Chains A and B, each alone.
Chain A
């Protein structure tokens, strides 16, 4: 389609809001520029769908994810935003509301709203619990309505405090798709009763996501980290300058056999991935002038704390291809015993691939990285992915029972510093028994799960790849569009990838008819 025809189509789309149209127009403009200079080999791998730049744009002018130090921001105020240091709770919420609109990301709005209990607790003196509740509830509604995008992410925990508890209460009450929420769990700090509340919330609204705090904290220095967007763990006061991902399925298809995969194909395509990472990061850091922004000048982010994310996906297909398994069909779904996620040899091969990637990531320097390195990431998929499973997940519809599911994947989690999300779909009977969710979560974390994420079957609010959507919104989407940017992706993802076909695991004998298919 001619460039201008494309613009006309965006402008006249009846299902997009003016703001959504502006975003698409900007993307189209950026995409009309020539691509950064990359080698022929990288370009070929990109064209062939082996390496993917996540459609971040031809000339990146903002980092993919930015995690400002909001504590510092409130303490010092901002010259650029003409704000004095914050004195009380209301001023804190107001100042945050303002700065959020100045924090860019790949989605053009912030993906990180901060560790809100650390940020707000210093300003709670003298305010009663009910007032905190009312103020935070309005704040929560504001976030969902003005920054409508479920990649926007709040962190709470691992300590037990009033902000953390109030946010959990409000989140379960409002059941909004935004903001996304991560609860940090540390067995030494977090009381079981608080984790139980979080687990009950998951049964209510599939949120929060539970992060294994000690594992994440150990991966980063004392300045800390945050979980942003769809479960990406990154250095605080820094972020991800870019995310380039490698399609392991395609890499496996290029390999002659398992040994060729490890000796040649995988290292080769990792090398090309690094080339793309380097050229994208170089443009951002050296040409775009992003690092002249007030966020850097006022010390809210540091250039040295940005790292590229080295993403992978299609682990399941890669393993099945390398093992010579036929493609999973309707017939093999019931008993996919030789397949990834079900078979020990297959699972072990998967672990071996993750370990090999880890070795490559830890030994390959990058110009703009965290301690000179990229961060390995199990990528949660995008709406265009067809016939390839996100990250290291078990393909939709073929998942074993939740415990076997966790046991099959736990070994991978140690390697994915910048995040890995394995979404467990739990039968709706868990709703009346949140203690079961709690125990499953504890079991997963004790087995080394970096993050625990669960969807409860039948909840309207569910997770697609990493962000939240409402099933009812998807149904309505085709007719009327949606106020929320991510719902469009969700509808597309639902149509393309079959991810909503995830099978709930019904466990009741007497109540089992709904999974008898």
Chain B
């Protein structure tokens, strides 16, 4: 059990936007949603080590290693220039630039940064798909004298089952959940999944005082927060006052496919949604600081 490994797509040592204070953010690879508007589509699928990307790498940072009949892509970060050619040629839109980390590996990393951060946030992809690893990591942090002051947070799409949440709650300080759309069919259109579990997760976390933030991504004409404003506002108002309602503005960065044709969200559109919510009594709204 001590040797669980997580597939990590990226580690951000100093983030100001993934929870309170400064945070070390671990982005896990793999997601169970298939959002049309995904800003990081290469984090959705796990690499199947087909090797198609290997010859396209301009600096030979990728090699296909075969041991006992199993092939694996080996990524060397030294020569890698992050040109992302590998991402553009992948038939699964998946990143070969992931790394396996053990809990111990991450503890060393976190220990080195402990004076500079208020906590750690596990994000994705969809982090909760690697729940057992997260529980083990959080447990280890909480029981380490030098790290136990760090808050442990999860950034999730909310699809984790109630059972899963109950296993995590003892070690979790709080979570941030994306609510992708209000209506079931809109949610299904955007993500390919229904959203019963998202609402269940929101309720459960709110009840336990562990909901830090609900995030709404406003895609004008696509997401339905503005057309369903009354219901959305009524719902948000019954959440505890401490819950931040973070409004994100849809942009094209990283987006591929049909969502590229969708209009981006301007500052004016964002402010319109924000004022419609606050007029209906929704407080603790957080707006984007930049629109690019």
Contact = CB atoms under 8 A, between A and B. Distances in A.
A and B found bound together: yes
Given A447-B115, A509-B123, A334 B290 contact: no
Nearest to B59: A335
Nearest to A337: B78
Interface string A430-460: 1111011111101110110000000000100
A201 B248 CA distance: 26
A514 B290 contact: yes
Interface stretch (A132-140, A159-167, A398-406): A398-406
B21 A439 contact: yes
Contact of B116 (A337, A443, A510, A514): A443
Given A432-B286, A432-B289, A439 B22 contact: yes
A28 interface: no
A511 interface: yes
B108 interface: no
Interface string B198-217: 00000000000000000001
A404 B115 CA distance: 12
Contacts, number: 103
B262 interface: no
A401 B248 CA distance: 24
A433 B17 contact: yes
Given A429-B17, A516-B253, A435 B22 contact: yes
Nearest to B123: A509
Contacts of A437: 22
Nearest to A445: B115
B288 interface: yes
Contact of A433 (B20, B39, B116): B20
B70 interface: no
Contacts of B253: 512-513, 516
Interface string B1-34: 0000000000011111110111101010000000
Interface string A324-337: 00000001001101
Interface string A490-516: 000000000000000101111111101
A447 B116 CA distance: 10
Contacts of A331: 81
B147 interface: no
A171 interface: no
B174 interface: no
Interface string A463-506: 00000000000000000000000000000000000000000010
Interface in B98-132: 112-113, 115-118, 123
Instruction: Decide if the interface of chain B is mainly helix, strand, loop or mixed.
Output: loop
A401 B16 contact: no
Interface string B159-177: 0000000000000000000
A47 B20 CA distance: 53
A485 B49 CA distance: 61
B288 A402 contact: no
Contacts of A334: 81-82
A439 B17 contact: no
Contact of B39 (A428, A436, A510): A510
B63 to A, nearest CB: 18
A427 interface: yes
B57 to A, nearest CB: 14
Given A403-B113, A509-B123, A335 B118 contact: no
Contacts of A335: 78-82
Given A403-B14, A510-B39, A512-B253, A435 B118 contact: yes
B21 A435 contact: yes
Sort chain A's interface into a size bin: 35 or more
Contacts of B289: 428-429, 431-432, 511
A442 B115 contact: yes
Given A335-B82, A435-B21, A440 B14 contact: yes
Given A428-B289, A446-B115, A507 B82 contact: no
A427 B16 contact: yes
Nearest to B19: A433
Contacts of A436: 14-16, 21-23, 118
B291 to A, nearest CB: 9
Interface residues of B, number: 37
A429 B79 CA distance: 30
B266 interface: no
A514 B13 CA distance: 19
A431 B286 CA distance: 12
Nearest to B80: A335
A507 B27 contact: no
Nearest to A331: B81
A119 B79 CA distance: 57
B17 A508 contact: yes
B20 A402 contact: no
B94 interface: no
B81 A513 contact: no
B153 to A, nearest CB: 14
Contact of B13 (A401, A435, A438): A401
A439 B123 contact: no
A276 B277 CA distance: 68
Interface in A398-429: 401-404, 406-407, 426-429
B117 A439 contact: yes
Nearest to B286: A432
Contact of A505 (B14, B23, B112, B113): B14
A367 B75 CA distance: 59
Contacts of B251: 510, 513
A433 to B, nearest CB: 4
A365 to B, nearest CB: 39
B14 A509 contact: no
B21 A510 contact: no
Nearest to A512: B253
A436 B20 CA distance: 8
A438 B115 CA distance: 11
A429 B16 contact: yes
Chain B CB within 10 Å — which of A431, A433, A443 has the most? A433
Chain B CB within 10 Å — which of A442, A444, A447, A513 has the most? A513
Contacts of B80: 335
Given A510-B248, A513-B251, A401 B40 contact: no
A403 B142 CA distance: 23
B292 A514 contact: yes
A444 B115 CA distance: 8
Contacts of B15: 436, 507-508
23 contacts: A335-B80, A337-B78, A403-B14, A403-B116, A428-B289, A429-B16, A432-B286, A433-B16, A433-B20, A433-B21, A435-B20, A435-B22, A439-B22, A439-B116, A439-B117, A442-B115, A443-B115, A458-B290, A507-B12, A507-B14, A511-B248, A514-B290, A516-B253
Q: Which 5 A-B pairs have the closest CB atoms?
A: A443-B116, A436-B22, A513-B253, A443-B115, A507-B15
Given A433-B20, A440-B116, A512-B253, 4 more contacts: A401-B14, A426-B16, A440-B14, A505-B14
